[in-house]
Structure 1
């Protein structure tokens, strides 16, 4: 998002919305991980061979039986040398997301999301006493007065347990 790339969410458990990507993962698993390698070096070699084959040798039906590498060209723009930290209005309190995806808020640990580890988020108070959590220009969710985070995007299955562990006993 710092570079202007916006996430697009699909409903949980709806691979038909992202079929090409899901198919690539199935092929990757079939060719590299069914009966995994005996060590990390051998496993990495399998991944490297798969990447080379998938992109440079294997024809793709969606590309009229050509390879992805034959369509790739270097981007016309370079990434910036330095990416500035997000800036928030004066009515926001700013917190840095910890490596496990949480922030310290009102004396409690609140899980926001692992994808934001190391990033600054802004929190602005709402009329009901909750706080909206923002990253750059995107509203991520709300921390309610009971200090529970409610995300606006559909929750990922593997994060649900992390969110549940952050809830205070009632």
Structure 2
């Protein structure tokens, strides 16, 4: 189904003819092959990529899941469940996360095949400057969506089978509610306070609230949106995050607490 999974990646960079670095971000609907965006971004910083996704979400709505690789800004091998500020925002919006296995580009094979076309048809003949290159991207995207039939679609064009998501994006939520749980706001340093004790979680959750579900007088299960992210033990002032294993591909809600 359309919007069940979107795939995202960076194509890899090249120089325009005036020497400017060009690194396109590509976002694609997996089922219909519809290319939602190809954008020459100024950087891979969270703020830059979030702005790109805000624009895409406003046009097309929200997908059920987003699949990425395990690199920044989409994921971090040093964070709880690989969450970053960007992917934590996706979770807060109710989007599930899928990740390919490290070193296995075939897990996102259709996206990689599209990148090969971009290499052959765009990178091989770089444009004069960034503005011209983006104009070329826009034309190529229109051609890809509206003029190239796909065998997997019964030789239909992606634009013939894609439809916007019914899950409209109005704005980012101010915070997250946790019915029946204690709620604590995560400081910009990644720390929360519980009974006067400072507990470090992750800066991926900075600015958001987490939910605390008591297990016993000394321990709490910790939730971010509908993800259980770990356990707090007050007596040792410690937090133990949920283990994330190499090759883990899906980061979905582990419990519906509402």
TM range (shorter): 0.5 to 0.7
Aligned-residue CA RMSD (Å):
4.0
Question: Partners in 2 of 1:34 and 1:55 — Cα distance?
Answer: 21
Alpha-carbon spacing, 1:103–1:47, altered in 2? closer, same or farther (3 Å): farther
1:7 match: secondary structure: strand
Q: Which has the higher contact order (CA 8 A, sep 6+)?
A: 2
| 1:85 equivalenced with 2:85 (yes/no) | no
Please tell me whether the aligned partners of residues 219 and 232 of structure 2 are also in contact (alpha carbons under 8 angstroms): yes
- Higher share in helix: 1
Residue-by-residue CA offset, 1:17-73 (whole Å, 9 max, x unaligned): 221122122323333334543321012112111211111111112112221001123
Deviation, structure 1 residue 77: 5.1
Please tell me whether the aligned partners of residues 94 and 123 of structure 1 are also in contact (alpha carbons under 8 angstroms): no
Per the alignment, residue 116 of structure 2 pairs with 26
User: Which residue of the other structure, out of 103, 110, 114, is the alignment partner of 2:190?
Assistant: 103
Which ranges in structure 2 are unaligned for 5 or more consecutive residues? 1-90, 193-197, 248-258
Please tell me whether the aligned partners of residues 121 and 133 of structure 1 are also in contact (alpha carbons under 8 angstroms): no
Per the alignment, residue 122 of structure 1 pairs with 210
- 1:2-151 aligned at under 5 Å gives the runs 2-34=92-124, 36-76=126-166, 78-80=168-170, 83-88=173-178, 91-95=182-186, 103=190, 112-113=203-204, 120-122=208-210, 134-140=223-229
TM-score (norm 1): 0.59
Which ranges in structure 1 are unaligned for 5 or more consecutive residues? 157-170
